[in-house]
Chains A and B, each alone.
Chain A
Amino acid sequence: MATIFKRDFLAYFRTPVGYVFMGVFLTLSGLIFYLYNLQNLSGDLLTFLSQLTLLVMLLSPLLTMRLICEDRQKRTDQLVFTSPAGLGSVVLAKYLAAACVMLVTVLLTNIYTLVIALGGTVYAGEWFVGYTGFLLQSLSFLALDLFVTCFAKNQMTGALAAFGANFVLWMADLLANSLTIGWLADALNFLSLYDRYEPFRLGQFSYAAALFFLTFIAACLVCATRVLDARRFSEGGAA
């Protein structure tokens, strides 16, 4: 598993994908920081982080689109899926590679925390809760995108489908409010990543929400593994 993780992680930086993701994310988050925090002379780190959710939604498909779809397109999946590595560990290794790029990128936004600390006060507890919540939400989007791309045959359709899924899940609570069907509204509310992030945005550490995010990630990865496994039976290749 470590072998696949290392290869996939380094592949982000041997191709433009990793640099484009980090560059665009940090540039846009810098812009948000300037417009919201610097122009308003605000030291509100939690609101700043919550505004980055949209960036994660838009950009996380960039990280996941290559993991399964590129292998499938270039037929390198024939190497990986006929190696002694199990399907589950392949999926987990690929997810962790993308998660590490996300983690490094999100941690780099601490440049803005430093700027706030220079001109005001940053509370360690607030920083911890804010970043933990934001990371858990980001990693959940990443897991969802990985799962969705398992259905796609090429990177472009994978990225578009992942973006669509992110958007639907992000909008889930808005949709739920407008629905009259009770059970559907409850289901959408339950799945809303935005709603689960709310306590962290308010500076409260929610164990229930953290557990939900971790379970959501695990469920997406298990489902991704099952989809790839099922493809061996249904069509022309494991991925």
Chain B
Amino acid sequence: MIEIQNVSKRYGSVRALENVSLRMEGSGVLGLLGQNGAGKTTLINILTGYLAPTSGRALLDGHDPLMEPAEAKRRLGYLPEQPPLYDEMTVREYLRFVAALKGVTSRAIGAHVDEVMELTGLTSMRNRLLGHLSKGFRQRAGMAQALCGDPDVLVLDEPTVGLDPRQITEIRALIHTLGRDHTILFSSHILSEVQQLCDHVVILDHGQVKLDASLAQLSAPEDVTVLLTVDAPEAAILGRLKQLEGVRRATVQPCAQSGRTSVQLQFHREMEPERRLFALLSGMNIPILHLSRVGDSLEQVFLNVISQ
């Protein structure tokens, strides 16, 4: 379980986080989104006990990493933005070191490290020096160290950065699999990745939680958006569209050809936008060139949230 209770963090006069609270129980993947400087890494550092909050507290399975470091951190696997690797060690030596650090008994270390290397696709690199690995394999080694000690909670700060497309797919598959029996907090700039992997999304902006919702909630919004292109000038059509029953917002979109108009219309879900638009435009004898629903993607949600 991950719990963050009213956490604030200030660096001098700069507010990095302001009363941030979130909670995730049981297994699953929580996606942490935000622009650069939104406070994602600070929040992760506080959750892992690397940083102390100015006020509030973070809990890992009910244990505060500052007050009960051994109890809390035993449950934690952390992959920072830059994998914490010792370049002079081989992959195997490094993972044995991390496993011992996490309290795996010396008798079990060999088998445990082999298992983690197998899971992250590092077996063929086991005797390579970490300093000689490509960026992709360094990221995998970082992922492998987070899995050492079989922690219940995994905190992954942009785990697919620098990987090639095949490696990205493999790491995503691994996170998806791990999400079945681990609590994973996962930060990323890649919105499609969050949409693909996460059960729950938190958007941070200027150190504050702007959205905390399950992906199921996001995929069934109150409003639907349609994109309409008609063979008529803007002046002739925009006013009528805005007056149409059920339209909440009409935004003119750029249109390459003169005399035509593209408009993005936000309707209430139950207002059957296609039927109403057809009735209006056929009555006005205006040809419809394009009419489609725009999926309320996470990207749109994200942009809406941070522009508010």
Binding site for B on A (CB under 8 A): 3-4, 7, 11, 14-15, 74-87, 232-233, 235-238
* A-B interface pairs (CB < 8 A), number: 74
Q: Determine the residue in chain A with the shortest Cβ distance to B94.
A: A7
Note all chain A residues with C-beta closer than 8 A to B87: 74
Of the candidates A75, A79, A237, which one forms a contact with B98 in the assembled complex, judged by CB atoms under 8 Å apart? A79
Note all chain B residues with C-beta closer than 8 A to A233: 52, 54
Note all chain A residues with C-beta closer than 8 A to B85: 74, 76
A232 to B89, CA, bound (A): 28
Q: Are B97 and A238 in contact (CB under 8 A)?
A: no
Q: Are A232 and B50 in contact (CB under 8 A)?
A: yes
Q: Determine the residue in chain B with the shortest Cβ distance to A8.
A: B86
Note all chain A residues with C-beta closer than 8 A to B101: 3-4, 79-80, 83-85
Q: Determine the residue in chain B with the shortest Cβ distance to A77.
A: B84
Q: List 29 A-B contacts (CB under 8 A).
A: A3-B97, A4-B101, A7-B89, A11-B88, A14-B88, A75-B82, A76-B86, A77-B84, A78-B78, A78-B84, A79-B78, A79-B84, A79-B98, A79-B101, A79-B145, A80-B84, A81-B49, A82-B48, A83-B101, A84-B69, A84-B73, A85-B101, A86-B70, A87-B69, A232-B51, A235-B11, A236-B11, A236-B51, A238-B51
Q: Are A15 and B49 in contact (CB under 8 A)?
A: no
Q: Are B97 and A7 in contact (CB under 8 A)?
A: yes
CB distance from A237 to the nearest CB of B (A): 6
CB distance from B9 to the nearest CB of A (A): 10
Of the candidates B80, B88, B100, which one forms a contact with A15 in the assembled complex, judged by CB atoms under 8 Å apart? B88
A75 to B86, CA, bound (A): 10
Note all chain B residues with C-beta closer than 8 A to A74: 84-87
Of the candidates B11, B48, B49, B84, which one forms a contact with A75 in the assembled complex, judged by CB atoms under 8 Å apart? B84
Q: Are A237 and B80 in contact (CB under 8 A)?
A: no
Q: Are B89 and A3 in contact (CB under 8 A)?
A: no
Note all chain B residues with C-beta closer than 8 A to A81: 49-50
- Asked if B176 lies at the interface with its beta carbon under 8 angstroms from chain A, I say no
- Asked if B263 lies at the interface with its beta carbon under 8 angstroms from chain A, I say no
A86 to B74, CA, bound (A): 12
Given A75-B80, A238-B51, are A3 and B100 also a contact pair (CB < 8 Å)?
yes
Q: Are B80 and A84 in contact (CB under 8 A)?
A: no
Note all chain A residues with C-beta closer than 8 A to B49: 81-82
CB distance from B304 to the nearest CB of A (A): 31
Of the candidates B50, B66, B73, which one forms a contact with A237 in the assembled complex, judged by CB atoms under 8 Å apart? B50
- Asked if B228 lies at the interface with its beta carbon under 8 angstroms from chain A, I say no
CB distance from A154 to the nearest CB of B (A): 16
CB distance from A70 to the nearest CB of B (A): 9
CB distance from A63 to the nearest CB of B (A): 16
Note all chain A residues with C-beta closer than 8 A to B89: 7, 14
A79 to B101, CA, bound (A): 9
- Asked if B102 lies at the interface with its beta carbon under 8 angstroms from chain A, I say yes
Q: Are A78 and B50 in contact (CB under 8 A)?
A: yes
Q: Are A76 and B84 in contact (CB under 8 A)?
A: yes
CB distance from A111 to the nearest CB of B (A): 29
Given A81-B49, A236-B11, are A11 and B86 also a contact pair (CB < 8 Å)?
yes
A59 to B73, CA, bound (A): 36
Q: Are B78 and A82 in contact (CB under 8 A)?
A: yes
- Asked if B265 lies at the interface with its beta carbon under 8 angstroms from chain A, I say no
A7 to B76, CA, bound (A): 21
Q: Are A78 and B80 in contact (CB under 8 A)?
A: yes
A76 to B97, CA, bound (A): 13
Contact with A along B59-94 (1 / 0, CB 8 A): 000000110011001101010101011111100000
CB distance from A77 to the nearest CB of B (A): 8
Note all chain A residues with C-beta closer than 8 A to B100: 3
Note all chain A residues with C-beta closer than 8 A to B86: 7, 11, 74, 76
Kindly list the 4 A-B residue pairs having the minimum CB-CB distance in the complex, ordered from nearest: A79-B84, A14-B88, A3-B100, A76-B84
CB distance from A206 to the nearest CB of B (A): 39
A15 to B131, CA, bound (A): 12
Note all chain A residues with C-beta closer than 8 A to B76: 82
Q: Are A83 and B102 in contact (CB under 8 A)?
A: yes
A233 to B49, CA, bound (A): 11
Note all chain A residues with C-beta closer than 8 A to B78: 78-79, 82
CB distance from A18 to the nearest CB of B (A): 11
Note all chain B residues with C-beta closer than 8 A to A7: 86, 89, 97
A235 to B52, CA, bound (A): 9
Q: Are A84 and B74 in contact (CB under 8 A)?
A: yes
Note all chain B residues with C-beta closer than 8 A to A11: 86, 88
A3 to B149, CA, bound (A): 14
